[in-house]
A and B are shown apart, each in its own frame.
Chain A
């Protein structure tokens, strides 16, 4: 409905493209989305660019009621994914048939178009997941 902010998109590209997280220097806890302070109390968090890009599906849903920017893509498969190592992320699942997905399905990160801003023509990209072909 409203156009997206270009600076908003631009400044979040490290997260949208590469899952850049924050890691606590004191205890090693990883935060995605990035946080400024760790639950352990430390404020020493550093960029962490090494989240694995493979993992397993924890649960998923097929979403039919979508916002105006996603009408052409509907339905969306939305999955909760546990990346190898334990950090979880929610992402769209693409190149998949819903009835062939299940908790435990192996997935990998892919780089895709997320939405097109109809008013300004801004094309926005980001991570999604797809099943790994056995």
Chain B
């Protein structure tokens, strides 16, 4: 069996990087990842969600490579909204597994802070159905709020139980040098923050941040954590036609395939990064990955038994849109080997990268 390994990586602290152009920001982190890996790459995969909407830039890969003076290799862009990162890693994995390339890089980048905060809502709303959702003013937040309300009711929780997610993420983010929010918050801070879409409040919404992350992947070079399996699934059911609102269909499908291909079960997972663009999605992702039973994630959180998002998740590290999934891959790989993060207590880690409101999910299993 072909093995794909993460042989080098680099992260940019997430934040507001007003002083840099998007291509340079990606090039800087890619250059560091290449130096970390010490290999040449034969292809580049760019994960970016908003380069047209925010930066009016296409063919971003060519401009990133221009900055680094890397000539003549192919560059591809993968766009799956804020799930672009996981999808790009998956595409890179397949390109290596096909035998076409020996080493490739994935770089994720987005700069949502190049527009004003109201315009950020417009930009992020592009992950919704543009004709039948975005047109009417709906956003990922409004639909997450509907799902949160139904989840909390169905499983007998109060909003306070959900508010604990943000508290935990901020606690973790305080320990992550690459996180946007590096401060702890109290439950009262969450409970007294303004409504964004009730029952969800300000602390339930992950901040959109400028970010860039890169990983160098090589075939059959046992020099780093191994990508055991990848799986992407889209959900073709429109929001109003879903039969259930307290689950993530795209994740359930991708997780089942990725676990099967890796030959592991949720019990083997020692490190996990999930897509909590909205708090409720983090909760549903924990359940979708089988790390808690259906309806049990908030109870597990209360018991203190949730070992996910040691990075602080999208809530504290930040939602760097297309770059997010690449951050997550690097964070899980580094947690497995104890680099920058406390070493995970086990051999396997898993990444959940999601685009929009359960429209597409990538699951990546990483192992030692």
The total of chain A residues at the interface (CB under 8 A) is 37
Indicate with 1 or 0, residue by residue over B122-141, a CB within 8 angstroms of chain A CB atoms.
11010001011111111101
CA distance A68 to B146 in the complex (A): 22
CA distance A66 to B232 in the complex (A): 30
Residues in A neighbouring B239, C-beta threshold 8 A: 80, 90
What is the CB-to-nearest-CB distance from B55 to chain A, in angstroms, rounded to a whole number? 14
Query: Which residue in chain A gives the minimum CB-CB distance to B195?
Result: A64
CB-contact partner of B122 in A62, A67, A80, under 8 A: A67
The answer to whether A76 has its CB under 8 Å from any CB of chain B is: yes
Q: Is the CB of A1 within 8 A of B122?
A: yes
Q: Is the CB of B139 within 8 A of A63?
A: yes
Residue in A66, A76, A91 whose Cβ sees the most chain B Cβ within 10 Å: A66
CA distance A12 to B131 in the complex (A): 8
Q: Is the CB of B137 within 8 A of A61?
A: no
Given A1-B119, A1-B122, A90-B240: A66 and B198 within 8 A (CB)? no
CA distance A124 to B196 in the complex (A): 25
Residues in B neighbouring A131, C-beta threshold 8 A: none
Q: Is the CB of A67 within 8 A of B149?
A: no
The answer to whether B197 has its CB under 8 Å from any CB of chain A is: yes
Q: Is the CB of B240 within 8 A of A63?
A: no
Residues of B within 8 A of A (CB): 115, 118-119, 121-123, 125, 129, 131-139, 141-143, 145-146, 149-150, 194-200, 205, 238-241, 245
Residues of A within 8 A of B (CB): 1-2, 4, 8, 12, 15-16, 31-33, 59-71, 73, 76, 78, 80, 88-92, 98, 114-115, 124, 126
